[in-house]
Amino acid sequence: MDEIVALLLRHGPSLVFVVTLLSRLGAPLPGGPLLVVAGGLAAMGQVSLAVTALLAVLANMLGDAAWYLGGRRYGYRVLRLLCRISLSPDTCVRQSEQMFERWAGWSLVAAKFVPGVSVVAAPMAGALRMSWRRFIGWDLAAAAAWTGLYLALGFLLRAQVRMVLDFMATAGTRAAAALVVVALLVLAVRLVRRRWSLGGRDIERITPEQLRSLMKAGAAPVIFDVRAPVAREATGMVPGAIATSLGDIAGRARELPADARVVVYCNCPNDVSAVKAAALLARAGSQVQVLRGGHDAWLAMVAAPADLAAV
């Protein structure tokens, strides 16, 4: 454990850069707590505050820029990948959509401090076609706010940081074991939250090809789009779909005929928002299916060379 403390003292800013970059890329690493420790070390004159802050901001922006480009090119598909890597619950995509709907660029700043949502904000900005200039400006503000807050906490709590480092230096393997236990508990909590968000797997699915066939045959079901308005504006809707929200879906169910066939779609990983809406509709008696893969899957089907004449 002495070696870990020595590493912090010798390479604190570099370690902050590496851990922050990896955490922004999706790895479940404690970037914030490490920055607090670095702030305490800076207050004690052990590391450079300016260099640490600069490297933390740079790491934030590099990691976010990579995911922004991914979202810009691949849309919501990259969000599904990121949720798996970071072990974030799939509902974080819906939360991020809602934040963009309410606060636009400010959502990049707010998301930095919302567990789970923070990691999907940058690719969400890309998927929703935020311009490069706006993204860089808002992400710089977000990175500076995040870095400043955690460094300030470390600066203010320098006495407590000193106590933690002294404990780590003297406790040896016990401190290492405690850190491993904490890390495992954090991973376990993330896994539980992610699995809990995947409820409703028994809801029946329909593929984009099957839905298009029904539409061509004149037997189109009632189609509900439960994405946030900002997502619909950025990428359009399935032809004939009705825009609604999870909060309004129960009311919509009461307006449907008893024998209505309904398809619901979103763009969340594992169709989690559509599954929640489908469960509400099913309880109201509707024959409901979820569009497998959501709106991205529909767009991919329509864009396929053999489907240029599709609906």
Tokens 């799939």 sit on residue? 90
pLDDT reading at 193 higher than 80: no
Cα distances (angstroms) measured from residue 92 to each of 70, 82, 96, 120: 17, 11, 6, 7
Cβ–Cβ < 8 Å for 190, 88: yes
Average confidence score pLDDT of the chain: 80
Mind giving me the DSSP string for 145-198?
HHHHHHHHHHHHTHHHHHHHHHHHHHHTHHHHHHHHHHHHHHHHHHHHHHHHTT
Q: In what order do the strands lie in the sheet with 261-265?
A: 205-206, 287-291, 261-265, 222-225, 242-243
Tokens 């959502």 sit on residue? 107
Domain range spanning residue 56?
A: 2-196
- 255 vs 260: CA distance, rounded Å: 10
Are both 212 and 192 inside the same structural domain?
no
Are both 191 and 210 inside the same structural domain?
no
pLDDT reading at 167 higher than 70: no
Which of 137, 171, 196 is where one domain is finished? 196
Are both 277 and 128 inside the same structural domain?
no
CB atoms near residue 20 (< 10 Å):
28
Which of 151, 169, 196 is where one domain is finished? 196
Pick from 87-101, 105-119, 236-250, 293-307: least confident: 87-101
Single out the residue of 298, 268, 281, 257 nearest to residue 124, CA to CA: 268
Are both 156 and 257 inside the same structural domain?
no
- 25 vs 60: CA distance, rounded Å: 9
Six-digit token pair at 144? Answer: 């500076």
Which of 163, 196, 229 is where one domain is finished? 196
- 205 vs 236: CA distance, rounded Å: 21
Pick from 95-104, 122-131, 295-304: least confident: 95-104
Cβ–Cβ < 8 Å for 56, 19: no
Are both 149 and 257 inside the same structural domain?
no
Q: What is the CATH number of the domain that holds 298?
A: 3.40.250.10
pLDDT reading at 307 higher than 50: no
pLDDT reported for residue 95: 67
Look at phi and psi of residue 243 and say left if phi exceeds 0, alpha if psi is from -120 to 50, else beta.
Answer: beta
* pLDDT tens per residue, range 71-122: 888 877 777 676 665 545 555 666 677 777 777 778 888 888 876 667 778 8
* pLDDT tens per residue, range 3-44: 555 666 677 788 899 999 998 887 877 788 888 888 888 888
DSSP state of 293: T
Cβ–Cβ < 8 Å for 211, 263: yes
Number of domains forming the structure of the chain: 2
Q: Cα 120–59–4 angle (5° rounding)?
A: 110
Are both 182 and 104 inside the same structural domain?
yes
Are both 211 and 190 inside the same structural domain?
no
Are both 7 and 152 inside the same structural domain?
yes
Are both 163 and 209 inside the same structural domain?
no
Are both 182 and 260 inside the same structural domain?
no
Are both 273 and 143 inside the same structural domain?
no
Cβ–Cβ < 8 Å for 103, 81: no
Helix (H) or strand (E) holding 291: strand 287-291
Are both 253 and 176 inside the same structural domain?
no
Cα distances (angstroms) measured from residue 240 to each of 236, 248, 257, 277: 11, 18, 18, 18
Single out the residue of 219, 189, 203 nearest to residue 266, CA to CA: 203
